[in-house]
Structure 1
Amino acid sequence: MPLLLGIDNGLTVTKAVIFDEKGNVLSLARRRVPQSMPHPRHVERDMRELWKQTAAAIAEAISTCPVAATEIVAVAATAHGDGLYLLDAAHCPLGPGILSLDSRAADVADQWEQDGTARIALEKTGQTPHASAPSALLAWIRKNEPQRFEQIAHVLACKDWLRFCLTGKIATDLTEASTSFTNVATQHYDDEILPIFDLEELAGTLPPVLAPASIAGHVTADAAAATGLPEGTPVAAGLHDVTASSLGSGGYGTDRVAIVAGTYSINETVSLRPRTDKRWFCRNGLTRGEWNNMSISPASAANYDWFLDTYCQHEKRAAEDAGRSLHVDIIPEIQKAMESPSTAIFHPFLFGSPMGPHASGALFGLRGWQDRGQTLRAVIEGIAFNHRIHVDALRDGFAPQKAVLTGGISRSSLFSQLFADALGIPIEVSATDEAAAWGAALCAGEAVGLFARCTDDPRNLADLTTTYTPDPHQSEALAQRYRVFMELAEALQPIWPRIDALEGTA
């Protein structure tokens, strides 16, 4: 029985998932990878610890798999995009890895917006630089850590570091290469791009670009000893986790928007020609001639998790002690709150926003007679409204007919229906376990000929899919609330920087 190993590294957890050739999960292991925040806006983690924990997860998945590791025919990794993982000339980590939640380079991105660099970058690379973009982070390091900057020999993304640890080979893939430095028209590196950011000294540090489903190397003896994988196992190039999630959930295509409601609000659709706009990143798709148009902000389900962690700690502990999920108790509260009108509106901008770097989270319209359910309803609606900002942008540029929703929120039929009503588009939810890891595994399968193409999912997706159709009455009611949501955001544009400035007061 041929098996595939998909590695999925998020912002806090690294996972190893072993699938059979039909997409069934045979074993799964997780390890937490600690973050460090040594300064405001800095979000980092130790690169060697990341590999140690990933190797431990692989070893556990192999030890608990009912089929021998010798049946694993290929491996591929996916991981958070953007951020920065640097190596020196000796292939050693050059400081900690920088996560995509890091915003130390926000002032760099702001300056580029003001001086015209962002406009030039959009035209050439298909995207406006942002705080966690490799270009902005490298510019920040050049200015603030010149000694570190001078030692840079290899500029990698997170999954590229993990693949290097498995194979000893330096490379990236087509989807990851386009985070800052490829020409949007040619989909190749371009000698004119590094100078846009005053980073021409880094010519030669960008890794070779491979197709996601090509073999990038083979498991080394050291990696085999650390993980239990057989030495010589083929390792595919892998792909950016946004693309991996859409591929693994059945959301990768020109007729649909793939939505991931997780830490980030991720919304993406595929096109067969490049089209650029400030509201989305036009990045490389799975193959040349395909573009993945991603409209993203760090403003999704993490807001819901924050509320539960901050204000429902007692209930959470009680539910855990009773062996059940807190959501069993909370979701009926939200459902009851949805049965009557509410003035509560929530901006889910606790960790970032599509409204700019100064936007912050807030609750509006609160009344003394409203309960926790009304507040949580506002939080969930606010998350859906933030996704609508992005989905509306993609509908302006493309022609998606439906959306495929993944992420923890999609496990609730109440929340899935709310997304359909708020977005005014049919929502499909696939009963896919570990969509991103499966997306990576599909690439590994193509790399060794198990699948003709990674988009040839062997599962019967129709049997796995539940469709939520918008209710016209609810859609109109939510559209009215969305208009107020957006009017509040517009009114706060000049005030958010003043609120932000209070952080510097005693």
Structure 2
Amino acid sequence: MACLLGIDNGLTVTKAVVFDEQGTPLAVCRERVPQSVPQPHHVERDMRVLWDATARAIHAAITQSGRAPGEIVAVAVTAHGDGLYLVDAHGDALGPGILSLDSRAGSTLSKWKATGVSDRALALSGQQPHVSAASTLLAWIRDHDPARYARIGHVLGCKDWLRLCLTGQAGMDRTEASTAFTDVNTQTYSPELLEQLGLLELQGCLPPIHHPAAVAGHITTAAAARTGLLAGTPVATGLHDVTASALGIGAHRADVVGIVAGTYSINEVVSTAPVTDPRWFCRSAIQPGQWNNMAISPASATNYDWFIDTLCTGEREAAESEGISVHKHLSPEIARALAQPSTLLYHPYLYGSPHGAVASAGFLGLHGWHDRGDMLAAVLEGVAFNHRVHVDALREGFSATDIRLTGGISRNPLIAQLFADVLGLPVTVSATDEAAAWGAALCAGAAVGLYDDVQSDPRDMQALDTRFEPDPVQQTIRDGRYRIHQQIAQGLMPHWESLASLETLQ
């Protein structure tokens, strides 16, 4: 039976997943990839270390799958979007890769906003540049590291760097190219946009754009020796991980809002016409003539992870000793807190917000009778509220009758129900393991004719799906709490700058 290899690289972990042709994971192997923060706002990682770790993960996954390398008929890569991975004309790494958590280019972005460049970019590309966009980072490098800028051979995303290591071929897919460089109407590279951004001289450094399910190269002899794959195995172009996750759970289609609750609050819906608005990115979808409209902010489930990692270490150790997850250990506390009235609200802005980078997180309405369960419930409610900010914006521009939710916290039925009550729409959670890697594998299978196209998922989705309907009583309660939550957020906007200034006081 044919097998597929999906490679999924996040901000801290790179993984390789071997699937059989029915979509069942046969082996999942992970390798941590260290980040470096050489100075404030710079978040990077060594590109060669990333490739080494990925090659080890691939080799281990093939070994653990018990399948012969020749049974893997195609490979595809997905990885975090935005950020920047530069190579020289020979394909060698040109300094460290820059992650999407990087914010060094804040001054560049401020200048573009003040001079109207951001607004012109919205009209041309379907989105305003943001601080970790490849375009913003390139402009920063142009101004602050001209020697590196002059040596640029190819401008790549993370997955494109890994595919270059596998195949020796530089390329980019539609979803990645549209994050910074394409015309929103033609979905091709835009010289006018590059000129507006002051990057026209890099036009020749942008690699060819391929369909995510096109064969973009083959495993080289050198890559085969590192990974255990057979030389000559086809490698599909792959796609941005957010789009891959939506594809993997069956959400990459019209009228469905795909939500990824992870490091970022990701909310996306496919349309058949471009609709631009500063509240979302209008990017290319997988198929030509379709657009993926993404409303995002770095304010989602990492707030919950932070609380547990910082304040629940004892509970984590106790849960591990009992052989259960800390999330299961804490669920009864959260359920009790969600079921009773509370003044406690939480704004989940530890790492960013829809209100700009200066906003910060905080509890309000906290009293001495509140306990850890109340705080955890408020954190999760605040995360769902932040997703609603984006979903409400998308529903103004697009039809949306259903929600499909993924991310670690979505596996908890209590939280999936909370999302349904907060969003006021049915929420479907798929029991898909490794959704992004499976989305990549679907591209690989379609590229070699194993599937008719990327939407031809061979799995029984009905058997995998659990649907959560909004509870009318709870929906009314959450609506009222959401309105107060947003009023407070708006009221705090004049004060976040003052709070941030406290960092500079001795």
| Cα-to-partner distance string for 1:114-150 (whole Å, 9 max, x where unaligned) | 2211100000000011010011111111111121111
One-letter identity of the residue aligned with 1:159: K
User: Secondary structure of 2:420's partner?
Assistant: helix
Q: Is the 8 A contact 1:298 1:353 kept in 2?
A: yes
Which residue of the partner structure matches residue 138 of structure 1? 138
Q: Is 1:354–2:354 an aligned residue pair?
A: yes
Aligned to 2:50: 50
Paired letter, 1:127: Q
One-letter amino acid of the structure 2 residue matched with residue 388 of structure 1? R
* Contact map agreement 1:403 1:426 (CA 8 A) in 2: yes
2:393 corresponds in structure 1 to: 393
Q: How does 1:23-42 map to 2 (within 5 A)?
A: 23-42=23-42
1:289-335 deviation digits (Å, cap 9, x = unpaired) = 01000011111000000000000112112222332211121111000
Partner amino acid, structure 1, of 2:172: T
Instruction: Show structure 1 runs of 5+ residues with no match.
Output: none
SS in 2 for 1:259: strand
What's the TM-score, normalizing by structure 2? Answer: 0.99
Q: Give the corresponding residue for 2:479.
A: 479
Q: Deviations over 1:87-122 (max 9, x none)?
A: 112211111101111111122222212221110000
Distance 1:115 1:430 in 2: 45
Counterpart of 2:264 in structure 1 is 264
Residue 454 of structure 1 aligns with an amino acid whose one-letter code is V
- Tell me if 1:345 matches 2:345: yes
Cα offsets for 1:131-188 (capped at 9, x unmatched): 1001111111111112111111110000000000000000000110001110000000
Cross-structure match for 1:91: 91
The one-letter code sitting in structure 2 at the alignment partner of 1:252 is H
Rounded to whole Å, the distance in 2 between the matches of 1:251 and 1:475 is 23
Range with bigger deviation, 313-322 or 45-54 = 313-322
Partner of 2:466: 466
Aligned to 1:382: 382
Match of 1:499 in 2: 499
Q: Distance in 2 between matches of 1:328 and 1:465?
A: 21
| 2:407 alignment partner AA | G
Tell me the amino acid that sits aligned with residue 166 of structure 1: L
Cα displacement (A) at 1:236: 0.2
Distance 2:361 2:111 in 1: 24
Task: Determine the structure 1 residue equivalent to 2:236.
Answer: 236
* Separation in 1, partners of 2:50, 2:278: 33
Query: 2:453 & 2:339 partners in 1: Cα distance?
Result: 46
Aligned-residue offset at 1:66? 2.3
Instruction: For 1:77-476, list aligned pairs within 5 A.
Output: 77-476=77-476
CA distance in 1, matches of 2:116, 2:467: 44
Q: How many Å separate the matches in 1 of 2:155 and 2:417?
A: 42
- In the other structure, the counterpart of 1:71 is 71
Aligned length: 506
1:476 is paired with a residue whose SS is helix
TM-score by length of 1: 0.99
Distance 1:383 1:4 in 2: 35
Q: CA deviation at 1:80?
A: 0.2
Q: Distance in 2 between matches of 1:320 and 1:41?
A: 35
Q: Is the 8 A contact 1:262 1:302 kept in 2?
A: yes
Deviations 1:250-304 (A, max 9, x none): 1111010000001110000000000000010000011210100001111100000
User: Do the aligned partners of 1:106 and 1:357 also contact (CA within 8 Å) in 2?
Assistant: no
Look up the SS of the partner of 2:204 in the other structure. Answer: coil
Contact kept, 8 Å, 1:280 with 1:295, in 2: the verdict is yes
| Residues in 1 aligned to 2:327 and 2:428: alpha-carbon distance in whole angstroms | 21
What do you get for the CA RMSD once the two structures are aligned?
0.8
Distance between the aligned counterparts of 1:404 and 1:6, measured in 2? 21
Point out where structure 2 has 5 or more consecutive residues left out of the alignment: none
User: Identity over the aligned pairs, expressed in percent?
Assistant: 59
Moved more, 379-388 or 308-317: 308-317
State the distance in 2 between where 1:106 and 1:491 align.
Answer: 24
Which SS does the other structure have where 1:246 is aligned? helix
How far apart are the structure 1 equivalents of 2:124 and 2:58? Answer: 39
SS at match of 2:480: helix
Between the aligned partners of 1:201 and 1:359, the Cα distance in structure 2 is 36
Residue 501 of structure 1, CA deviation = 2.0
Alignment partners' CA distance in 2, 1:450 and 1:329: 42
For residues 325 and 107 of structure 1, the distance between their equivalents in structure 2, rounded to whole angstroms, comes to 42
Structure 2 distance, partners of 1:364, 1:112, is: 35
CA contact (8 A) 1:352 1:360 kept: yes
Amino acid at match of 1:333: E
Instruction: State the distance in 2 between where 1:343 and 1:486 align.
Output: 14
SS of residue matched to 1:193: helix
User: Partners of 2:132 and 2:252 in 1: how far apart?
Assistant: 24
